Amino acid sequence: MDEMPGMIRPDLQALPQVKDRMTFLYLEHCTLGRQDGAITVTDEKGVVSVPAAGISVLLLGPGTRVTHRAMELMGDTGVGAVWVGEHGVRYYAHGRPLTTHAQLLLRQAELVSNTRKHLDVVRRMYQLRFPDEDISHLTMQQLRGREGSRVRQVYRKASKDTGVPWSGRLYRPEDFASGDAVNQALSAGHACLYGLAHAVIVALGCAPGLGFVHVGHECSFVYDIADLYKAEVTIPIAFEVAAQAPEDLPAVVRRRVRDAMVEHHILERMVHDIRYLLLNTDEPEQEPEVVYLWDDRIGTVANGINYFEKEEGEEPS
């Protein structure tokens, strides 16, 4: 039988870490294919090859078609895929984690399940956003009130600086055009931030649905992480672009957000902040690549061993 075409699936150790990749790439009205280790982007102007292992997430706009081979490559190299429609954004797919360990996932589950530890993570999240405040003894209710007040200040300042009227976050996810210019700009900017956060979370092996401030949604942790950077990136950009009133507002917002993510090192900071929130450190622990078996008395036991114990009166096999 002839060998299957294409490159051999790369080992995870051979792939660039998520913090070393580009943030995101937006594409529309094109077909995505695969040529060896590159994603090919074809439209009426020609073909462009994009190294798959150098991208964190692809934002796929209207008119985008993706071949099975392209999705296979994206899965092998840990590239996230977000389909961006005219009436909102949905996260449909992601690549495999860029790790073989469950360390962060287990720690995330432990913190979510313990009320005291859960609240500690929420406090650290708030401290990352507003480092000038002492919130070490605030309750969850007090934190929500403090956060609401600070976020309203951010919106009011952006409105005052740009002259764009602000009457609140009013939008319908199923009807993008129903919002005013600044709400459309916020939706477009936040979509880029959500896509990058989702890709980073998955690449690190965490669960997008195990959130701390947000709960009950499959993207709860995505919203938690994205919120850390909205006041710095997407909110001021949305108001600035809305004040300029460009013809293609979403496209201008995406480009501005992309540039701001690079300028402020958002991708690298996401990796650092997630590790800080879950482990209190940014240094990865070197663990052997191994699968354990769970034991209710001692925690874990070695895999690949026959633990059969002969029952009384039974002859050994």
Sign of the alpha-carbon torsion through 191, 83, 22, 211: positive
147 belongs to an annotated ligand binding site: yes
User: What angle do the packed helices 220-230 and 266-279 form, to 10 degrees?
Assistant: 120
Nearest Cα to 229, choosing from 315, 121, 151? 151
Quote the CA–CA distance of 227 and 84 in Å, as a whole number. Answer: 20
Distance, C-alpha 221 to centroid of its chain: 9
Regions of the chain where pLDDT drops below 50: 1, 4, 6-7, 9-16, 87, 286, 288-289, 310-312, 316-317
Q: What is the pTM assigned to this prediction? A: 0.74
List, for residues 142-163, the tens digit of each pLDDT value.
988 988 899 999 999 999 999 9
Quote the CA–CA distance of 99 and 109 in Å, as a whole number. Answer: 17
118 belongs to an annotated ligand binding site: no
**Dihedral, 32, 36, 37, 39 alpha carbons, nearest 10:** -10
Nearest Cα to 53, choosing from 77, 29, 85? 77
Structural domains of the chain ordered from first start = 12-93 (3.100.10.20), 103-279 (1.20.120.920)
Phi and psi at 65, nearest 5°, equal -120, 140
SS3 sequence of the chain: CCCCCCCCCCCHHHCCCHHHCEEEEEECCEEEEEECCEEEEEECCEEEEEEHHHEEEEEECCCEEECHHHHHHHHHHCCEEEEEECCEEEEEECCCCCCCCCHHHHHHHHHHHCHHHHHHHHHHHHHHHCCCCCCCCCCHHHHHHHHHHHHHHHHHHHHHHHCCCCCCCCCECCEHHHCCHHHHHHHHHHHHHHHHHHHHHHHCCCCCCCCCCCCCCCCHHHHHHHHHHHCCCHHHHHHHHHHHCCCCHHHHHHHHHHHHHHHCCHHHHHHHHHHHHHHCCCCCCCCCCCCEEEECCCEEEECCCCCCCCCCCCCCC
List, for residues 255-296, the tens digit of each pLDDT value.
999 899 889 988 889 989 999 999 876 555 545 445 667 766
Q: Which residues contact 301 (CB under 8 A, 6 or more apart)?
A: 292, 293, 295, 307
**Dihedral, 74, 76, 79, 80 alpha carbons, nearest 10:** 80
What is the predicted pLDDT for the residue at 132? 83
CB 95 within 8 Å of CB 75:
yes
| 61 token code pair | 């706009």
Quote the CA–CA distance of 113 and 310 in Å, as a whole number. Answer: 38
What is the predicted pLDDT for the residue at 129? 87
Phi and psi at 234, nearest 5°, equal -75, -35
Nearest Cα to 187, choosing from 147, 221, 139, 235? 235
What is the predicted pLDDT for the residue at 310? 47
